[in-house]
Amino acid sequence: MAMITLTDREFSQFQRFIYEAAGIFMANGKQALVSGRLAKRLAHFQLASYGDYLQLLESRREPAELQMAVDLLTTNETYFFREPKHFALLRELAQAAKAQQRGLRVWSGACSSGEEPYSIAMVLAEVLGEAPWEVLGTDISSRVLDKARRGHYPMERASQMPPAYLKRYCLKGQGGEAGTMLVERALRARVSFQHLNLVQPLPKLGSFDLIFLRNVMIYFDLATKRAVVARLLAQLRPGGHFLIGHSETLNDISDAVQAVAPSIYRKPAS
């Protein structure tokens, strides 16, 4: 089958599509990414052009395909214990919660394939044990959420994980599973995953002590950043912490929280 070329006009239409569907601003120069990730879908439907595929999406004839396209265009790689200082803060907050005999609720707002919420859960399990704590992971991609629920990863994703956590909370793959690891069942059971689009009104989630929204805002324009951050901060309890990616800032985005360190913000207690 001849290779199908993605035209500049079709690429700009996909830029508009992913912005309207997920609030994601796709920079110019990503044509190879779009064509590479969607080529199999054109073949699946036996379509002659990317424009035909876009028409299929916009016609809503195949509702599940909309989610498939969003999944393919938004998936990102991640790993366990990314940005260790955030997990050091989490440990401190968990220790304070334990001393005060109260629970802790943490939300990983764009959890991808689950490495971040499981990293959070390991810290909370270590410090709080069986005390009440809760981790919610949400993402716009159903496909990565399925991976997250399985908790099965290539071993290299755990290169930053403290060895004691790897030993205590993960099973090392043997035989045909060599080179992989599985998050143990008891820990997986304490993390819940939910499909969620951050650019749309949120369902009832309750309030959280800590919200991770890391390395997500880079995909949004300023107006979308402001709307998404305001939406999430409404779910953060007074005194709670909001964590973003190391290369991100809330300058000109929100004054509802105060910076306490680079990429770490706190909502005033009153």
Catalytic residues: 37, 139
Grouping H, G, I as helix, E, B as strand and the rest as coil, residue 258 is strand
**Cα–Cα distance measured from residue 137 to residue 139, given in angstroms and rounded to the nearest whole number:** 7
**Cα–Cα distance measured from residue 208 to residue 231, given in angstroms and rounded to the nearest whole number:** 13
Q: Classify residue 209 as left (phi > 0), alpha (psi -120 to 50) or beta.
A: alpha
**Quick check: 109 and 138 in contact, CB under 8 A?**
yes
Which helix (H) or strand (E) covers residue 182, if one does? strand 180-183
Tokens matching residue 29: 């120069």
Q: 125 vs 121, 160, 195, CA distance in Å?
A: 6, 18, 24
**Quick check: 187 and 122 in contact, CB under 8 A?**
yes
**Cα–Cα distance measured from residue 87 to residue 269, given in angstroms and rounded to the nearest whole number:** 22
Closest CA to 41 of 72, 15, 16, 1: 72
